[in-house]
Amino acid sequence: MADSTTQSIVVKATPETIRDVIIDFAAYPEWAGAVQSATVTEEYEDGYPSQVRFELDAGVAKDVYTLQYEYSEDTFEIHWHLTERSQLQKSQVGSYAIEDNGDGTSTVTYTLAVELGMSMLGMFKKKAEKMIIDTALKELQKRAESRA
């Protein structure tokens, strides 16, 4: 597996609000810029999404892929992995960890490792991962704070 990239952001919202935004996959096209659609294809018995099919259009990069999700017992850690190779990705492993700061804010830590089907110089791949994470965290922050 490829090396991962990790970044954190403080969000003015409760862990519950942030988690609910993250798992409301149908709403991703409303706030996650590159996501054209996100469809839950399987759920766990408790109703949490277990598999989600994404259609992504980031201009030069377009992809369709399915992620398998797993949740910690308190549901404030959300992990995922690519179920099968897509047009662009050999693998993808990621997670959100949401920590209550006790002051009405939460720290969200996003970790991502993507292995592409084409070769890319390490420094460019790392830069692309950082950009993806930075954008995702800022979009998540804006959405969660609008719900708080």
The answer to the question of residue 127 being in a domain is yes
Where in the sequence is the domain holding 127, given as residue range(s)?
A: 5-24+69-147
The answer to the question of residue 47 being in a domain is no
Q: What is the pLDDT of residues 34-82, one digit of tens each?
A: 899 999 999 999 999 999 999 998 777 789 999 999 999 999 999 999 9
Element at 77 (helix H, strand E): strand 77-82
Token pair recorded at residue 20: 């609910």
The string of DSSP codes covering 87-145 is SSEEEEEEEEEEEE-SSS-EEEEEEEEEEESS---HHHHHHHHHHHHHHHHHHHHHHHH
90-100 average pLDDT score: 96
The answer to the question of residue 138 being in a domain is yes
* pLDDT of 1 above 50: no
Count of domains observed in the chain = 1
The answer to the question of residue 60 being in a domain is no
Residues shown for the chain? 148
Q: What is the pLDDT of residues 107-146, one digit of tens each?
A: 999 999 988 876 654 555 566 667 778 889 999 999 999 9
The answer to the question of residue 95 being in a domain is yes
Percent above pLDDT 90 for the chain? 71
Distance in angstroms (rounded) separating the CA atoms of residues 122 and 100: 34
The answer to the question of residue 81 being in a domain is yes
The answer to the question of residue 48 being in a domain is no
For 54-89, letters b (16+ CB in 10 Å) and e give bebeeeeeebebbbebebeeebbbbbbebeeebebb
The answer to the question of residue 17 being in a domain is yes
Mention every residue, 6+ apart, whose C-beta is less than 8 A from residue 132: 112, 114
85-95 average pLDDT score: 92
> The CATH number of the domain where 114 resides is what?
3.30.530.20
Percent above pLDDT 70 for the chain? 91
What is the average pLDDT score of the chain? 90
